[in-house]
Structure 1
Amino acid sequence: MSQDRIDVKVITPKTNRDANGKIYVRKSQGTFQKMRRYGGWFLMVLFAILPWITYQDRQAILFDLAKQQFVFFGATFFPQDLTLLAIIFVIAAFGLFFITTFLGRVWCGYLCPQTVWTFIFIWLEEKLEGPANKRRKQDNSKYTGNLIVRKTIKHIAWWVISIITGLVFVGYFIPVRELFSEFATFELSFWPAFWVWFFAACTYGNAGWMRSIMCLHMCPYARFQSAMFDKDTYIVGYDAKRGEQRGPRSRKADKPAGLGDCIDCNLCVQVCPTGIDIRDGLQYECINCGACIDACDQTMDRMGYPRGLINYTTEHKLAGNKTKIMRPKLIGYGITLILMIGLFISQVATVDPVNMSVLRDRNQMFRVDNQGWIENTYTLKILNKTQKTQQYQIDVKGLTDVKWYGSQTIQVPAGQLISKPLTLSVNPDELTSPIIKFEFILTDNNGFNLNVESRFIKKL
């Protein structure tokens, strides 16, 4: 048997967790935290106000599940337009792949709702209970009356934000003004109320209690992101060549011989929302929020050292090599993303404002009236996909000497489907074959026309 042995280096990781695993996130300020904070507030405000926007006297954005339609400003999309939704998901997927390959998990650190709401809850927690060290000490000591009051206010504030979040989210699926009014007057029916409280509970639980547990153990993105990473992906990285050996020292004294720029202040650990030490290398828990970068840059400023000991960088750059931005995988994701966006734009541009389908009478293929003319009966199903009531005119192309039984005009309310039965009668001398192909033509007052092919049967 071989006597070779593998040397094992035991590392005791530094973390901002307590004995129970709870993470106490220290407040961090700096360029990247301003970007994250302003971006998060912008997205939250946008999320909150979008359902309140009206267009043509209706809610501008509404996923109306009851009517099976999606209203987006002046357009209405129905189940037959679900290919557009599929294309949107593909665009989102390849957009995420492209960004992740290029900039790592910046979605997680700056834009993910879990991160945005978590930092808002932490901000409230800090305002009411104090900074991280104080909160840790308080939680590990006997609760005082003052602390109980502050914690109660904190949880009430969390629940208020959570309930508003649940109401706004459901407001994308149910008219938001009616939803808020009925919720405030306790008149909301069971299922809308259920979903409001369900999403409120999810917000409260995820942002208030689970926090990094969602990112580390439940979110699939953290697991499959490695398939998109390469050594040229921008990550939050620690420059070990410059930082090691780490060790404390006085700001006024010269840097001791043999020590690097890292003074082992551990601020990078204390501000990390997932509780890791970035100096241990690339870790899947890192969400690229940049909190450790800002904390380290402030320390470097105080010590008079250059910034960038922790920075957005690549593994190639950390190894002393050149970063290659334009690479096949990134180019492939980019091209696919552009193509899918182009396809989506073309599909949206060609969506008709009205749909019409023609159904023939299956019980009686044709009949002969008392004048010897041939009659065929049809049912026209006309769907108005606009946000205004429309009046349409119906005509035929491919048949001559036609008598109509039924009005050639129809009025269809906004977003509704109307069935219109009508009968066509044709002089048999004008029919050159047993089955004649022809088209129904639907026009409106705006010059739009839609042709749908059908058959006129003289005999079988």
Structure 2
Amino acid sequence: MSDPVRVRVVPKSQLRDEQGDDLYAARQKIHVRSVKGVFANWRWALVWLTQIIYYGLPWLTWNDRQAVLFHLTERKFYIFGWVFWPQDVFYLAILLIISAYALFFFTAIAGRLWCGYACPQTVYTEIFMWIEEKIEGDHNKRRKLEAAPMDARKIGLRAAKFSVWGLFSLWTGFTLVAYFTPVDELLQSAATFGFGPWEIFWILFYGGFTYLFAGVLREQVCKYMCPYARFQSVMFDPDTLVVTYDEERGEPRGSRRKGVEPRSAGVGDCIDCGICVQVCPTGIDIRQGLQYECIGCGACIDGCDQVMDKMGYPRGLIRYSTENAVRRHWGRSEILRHVMRPRTLIYGGVLVLILLATMWSLATRSDLRVDVIRDRATLAREVAGGLIENVYQLRIMNMQEITRPVVVRVSGLEGIRLEGPQQFEIKPAMTESVTVQVQVPPEAAAPGSHEIVFEFGVPGDSAVAVRERTTFLLPR
């Protein structure tokens, strides 16, 4: 009988890899210090811009309807003057291609600009941290509150913060659903608490994850959950603009009195104040070099520039630059010349071409869309007068939000004529199905399949014309 296997339970905090490093690191909560400066202003400008668009669009009206509405029940997407149908999924593919090329283009030029300024995770984290600062105080007060024992004041402040976060998150979820259900209907449902099950689900789901990601997890999303942080390195090269610490100028670090010339004291320009770490939303030290956790927000640049101003040193100890520029001491003109290199020019050129082609396609697409379907149950039949008849189903989409009169004609064979409605009206943004019969003398062509053409037009508007080809069967 073999000896029993002995298993020793080791706390997770004691697990180490082969090099002796901790495999699991307990999270140290980051209390980000607020900072002012050029890049902080840019971040808040993007916060305002993106949130005005997000929260404002559902309330705009266009043609007596919601300006932007992805109406899943009607299977139509309304975007201002455009109406997109399921058949327009081509434009969704184009949108994804444009997004991919834009990501390649901007990442190759200036790294994680999207992450630092416009990513929803960054935007909502900024908003949640602003709420937190207004309720609990600056980073020092928040740190002290975190360490303080639970008392009435702490409970009150936390309850106020969590309540504001929760209300904001629910409003965010409500706004998301308003893009798919008309906002007027949602308001009526909110007044009577009569939301449907899917509406409740998505309000709580999106609102809950907004609260979780922006209020609780924060930098953990960027560091461990976002895949972009992991594959960004393959999109960078030595000529990509990134947040860079000028080690040659800053080292060796050391404190000194204001007004002291650094080199005379045997130190670099960095006074080792740690403000660049305190203002970083992911808690990294940019002085250790570029790290995948860096989202390129520029907060450390603003913080360091303020210190340099107080010390009377030139700005730019931490700045947007490239690996080659720092190593070779390039000026701005040289940096710009190398940033606009063949790789970025190709990305930019392809992106512009796709955008122009998409705009041209949207501007020139027909106001009518037609499907002609031959009735396969009745391939061909002889009718009064010895004529041969085929039956067709016409499905006509009115792409405009006005009633359109449509005239239909048929051609392609000698003596061909159309029986059934030849002019009818189609309601705004609706599809009309019409059955027509096409008749041909038997001597018009040899037995077999022959091509005919349906022509659709709008009286008085020559720009709206659609031709659809189909086949006419003559029996043997």
**What's the TM-score once normalised by structure 1's chain length?**
0.92
SS across alignment from 1:451:
strand
* Paired position in structure 1 for 2:83: 76
SS across alignment from 1:265:
coil
Which of 391, 395, 405 matches 1:391?
405
User: Structure 2 matches for 1:36-435, cutoff 5 A?
Assistant: 36-255=43-262, 257-322=265-330, 323=335, 324-431=338-445, 434-435=448-449
Conserved in 2, the CA contact under 8 Å of 1:129 and 1:147?
no
Shift of 1:199: 0.4
Conserved in 2, the CA contact under 8 Å of 1:88 and 1:344?
no
Shift of 1:437: 2.1
CA distance in 1, matches of 2:351, 2:174: 33
Shift of 1:20: 4.5
SS across alignment from 1:178:
helix
CA distance in 1, matches of 2:466, 2:148: 75
Shift of 1:89: 0.9
CA distance in 1, matches of 2:227, 2:458: 49
Shift of 1:100: 0.7
Conserved in 2, the CA contact under 8 Å of 1:32 and 1:291?
yes
Q: Partner letter of residue 161 of structure 1?
A: F
* Paired position in structure 2 for 1:455: 471
Conserved in 2, the CA contact under 8 Å of 1:167 and 1:180?
no
Shift of 1:422: 1.4
**What's the TM-score once normalised by structure 2's chain length?**
0.89
CA distance in 2, matches of 1:310, 1:230: 19
Aligned residues: 445
CA distance in 2, matches of 1:329, 1:184: 55
Conserved in 1, the CA contact under 8 Å of 2:409 and 2:418?
no
SS across alignment from 2:213:
helix
- CA deviations 1:269-296 (Å, max 9, x no partner) are 0000000011111111111111111111
Conserved in 1, the CA contact under 8 Å of 2:33 and 2:139?
yes
Conserved in 2, the CA contact under 8 Å of 1:293 and 1:310?
yes
Q: Which moved more, 1:212-221 or 1:419-428?
A: 419-428
SS across alignment from 1:203:
helix
CA distance in 2, matches of 1:19, 1:30: 32
Q: Which moved more, 1:105-114 or 1:412-421?
A: 412-421
| Relative contact order higher in (CA < 8 Å, ≥ 6 apart) | 1
Conserved in 2, the CA contact under 8 Å of 1:65 and 1:173?
yes
1:101/1:20 CA distance change after superposition, 3 Å = closer
Q: Which moved more, 1:229-238 or 1:380-389?
A: 380-389
Conserved in 2, the CA contact under 8 Å of 1:381 and 1:419?
yes
- CA deviations 1:128-179 (Å, max 9, x no partner) are 0011111111111112212211211111111111111111112222222212
CA distance in 1, matches of 2:172, 2:400: 30
CA distance in 2, matches of 1:422, 1:380: 7
Where structure 2 has 5 or more consecutive residues not aligned to the other structure, the ranges are: 1-19
1:285/1:96 CA distance change after superposition, 3 Å = same
Shift of 1:66: 2.3
Shift of 1:335: 2.1
Shift of 1:201: 0.4
Conserved in 1, the CA contact under 8 Å of 2:222 and 2:293?
yes
CA distance in 2, matches of 1:75, 1:433: 45
SS across alignment from 1:38:
helix
Shift of 1:419: 1.6
SS across alignment from 2:195:
coil
CA distance in 2, matches of 1:320, 1:399: 76
CA distance in 2, matches of 1:106, 1:54: 32
CA distance in 2, matches of 1:24, 1:115: 15
Q: Partner letter of residue 363 of structure 1?
A: A
* Paired position in structure 2 for 1:3: none
Shift of 1:52: 1.8
- CA deviations 1:24-60 (Å, max 9, x no partner) are 1001111110111122111111111112222111222
SS across alignment from 2:436:
strand
Conserved in 1, the CA contact under 8 Å of 2:410 and 2:417?
no
Shift of 1:254: 4.8
RMSD (CA atoms)? 2.0
Q: Partner letter of residue 327 of structure 1?
A: R
